[in-house]
Amino acid sequence: MSARRLLIGAVCLIVGVTGAGATWAAFSGTTENTANSAATGASFANARVVTGTYTGDGAVGRNIAVPFAPQLVIVKGATTQTAVARSITMTGDASKPMAGPTALQTLAIQSLTATGFQVGSNGRVNTNGTRYDWVAFEAAAGAMQVGSYVGNGAARSFTGMGFSPEYAMVLPAGTGRAVSRASGQTTSFQFDADVGSATRITSLDADGFSVGTSGDVNTTGQNYHWIAWNDRGGLNDISTYTGTGAAGLTAYTGFQPAYAIARENDTTTAGAAHHRVASQAAGDSYPFAATSVLTNSITAFNSVDVGFGTNANTSGATHSLIAFKSRPYAGGGGCSSPGTQTVTGSADSWVNQASPTATAGADSVLKVTSKSGNQNTRAFVKFNLPAIPAGCAVAFAKLRLNNKSPVSGRTLNAAEVSGAWTENAITWTNQPSVAATSQSATVPGSAAYMEWSVTNEVRSQYTTNNGFRISDSVENVGSSEQQFDSREAGVNPPQLLITFQ
């Protein structure tokens, strides 16, 4: 390369970093026009993905643990709030609502850290008592890149990503709408209802992507944040399927996904993208727009495929599927023994407000009651955790208790216990406190195991393990008693399912 080209490349590098606020930039040797350069975030050794859930507490500066330093996080609540995204190139307290003409917001995803991400009090991410599901990504050379650019109002192409992307997102810092384009789509789309536009992401190219003149991707002087993915077999799957209009359609991925996005290639009737997080209950998924849980869109993550209901399955239409496998671990060899291990309870008991000094560690049942007149009861259960296999991490965990006397429709909370207790000594009077956040589950209509997603709690318990408390979400009301089989029952014992990957 000539000295002149080296000098111009160096100038481009400085301008790209200053204008886009990226941590560092990388350009191809042929990029000399600063108007067509894109600042690129640091490249990492792994292409890791992990999902989780938490219950909002309304607090500012709340930290959510992730087993790596994420470069992109997406959060959606089970409520009529818009999904929010933050990439590593966003600076300060700022994150992007993924639907609607809304600029970067404060007090939502406040920062990405070396150990996870931080949320504020914005209702999109942290309303007290609301459930939130999230997915976190780590970038990697050849698999995923994250970066930013400054708009110039003219159609342009970005190169230097190191692969031909099959899926790309652009998140405007201003009031432009978040948009994406997948291979197999004839145009690019908003994440909410939209018929697409030919002037947003205009193509996915050999070493990057191109944008047009739309304000969603290219207003002069405006900052834009982008994320691009390469289809890597076994890590992700970016493909298409043809709708049948009937529930139960499946699309093959070759692995069990942790996160997926589905979007019809719909340029006439204003469809919308939907997404599902592995931590969601069976059958549930989310829109990106300010709508609550869907039950007829992305309905299932199976061992090698994804299931769809009628809302992501227009008959005869082409749909895009962007699916990601959970990969929380690091290391050259990966997880030495991936899979799910089931452990049964090592200690359990229940405590009774009406008999505050009574013990119940030998009982064959665990009672959870909401009853007026200071007569509530709560259950406690603890598990001996299995050793984490070499190179692995906890990808997902479920707490399961067999409800043998369900009162349908009640909501029960599972919270991580903060202090030590023993099976034959715990009472209402001496019961330890619990974490401020908890996971909720709805009581079934017939006797069956209830399940709580407790991934973050189990990760924490590998440091300090005091088990779980199960209580009614609203105590001191009515007389609803749930009875669960304890480990002393001899059948249907408490279970903890831990998936290592």
pLDDT band of residue 239 (cuts 50, 70, 90) is very high
Q: What is the pLDDT of residues 160-185, one digit of tens each?
A: 888 999 999 999 999 999 999 999 99
Q: What is the pLDDT of residues 115-164, one digit of tens each?
A: 899 999 999 999 999 999 999 999 888 889 999 999 999 999 999 888 99
Residue pointed to by tokens 């004839």? 186
Instruction: Round to whole Å and give the CA distance between 162 and 159.
Output: 8
Mean pLDDT value across residues 232-251: 89
Residue 202: in which H helix or E strand, if any? Answer: strand 201-204
CA dihedral over 137, 139, 144, 148, signed as positive or negative? positive
- Give the pLDDT score at 331: 52
Q: What is the pLDDT of residues 414-423, one digit of tens each?
A: 999 999 999 9
Least confident window among 210-219, 327-336, 478-487:
327-336
Mean pLDDT value across residues 240-255: 91
- Give the pLDDT score at 338: 75
Burial level of 473, CB count in 10 A (0-12/13-18/19+)?
Answer: middle
User: Do residues 208 and 157 touch, judged by C-beta distance below 8 A?
Assistant: yes
CA dihedral over 279, 192, 312, 143, signed as positive or negative? negative
Strands 257-264 and 318-325: antiparallel
Query: Looking at per-residue confidence, does 482 or 453 come out higher?
Result: 482
User: Do residues 249 and 332 touch, judged by C-beta distance below 8 A?
Assistant: no
User: Do residues 180 and 201 touch, judged by C-beta distance below 8 A?
Assistant: yes
- Give the pLDDT score at 340: 84
Instruction: Round to whole Å and give the CA distance between 78 and 95.
Output: 19
The structure's pTM equals 0.65
Judge whether residue 395 has pLDDT over 80.
no
Judge whether residue 99 has pLDDT over 90.
yes
Instruction: Round to whole Å and give the CA distance between 317 and 296.
Output: 17
- Ranked by mean pLDDT, the top range of 66-70, 230-234, 236-240, 364-368 is 364-368
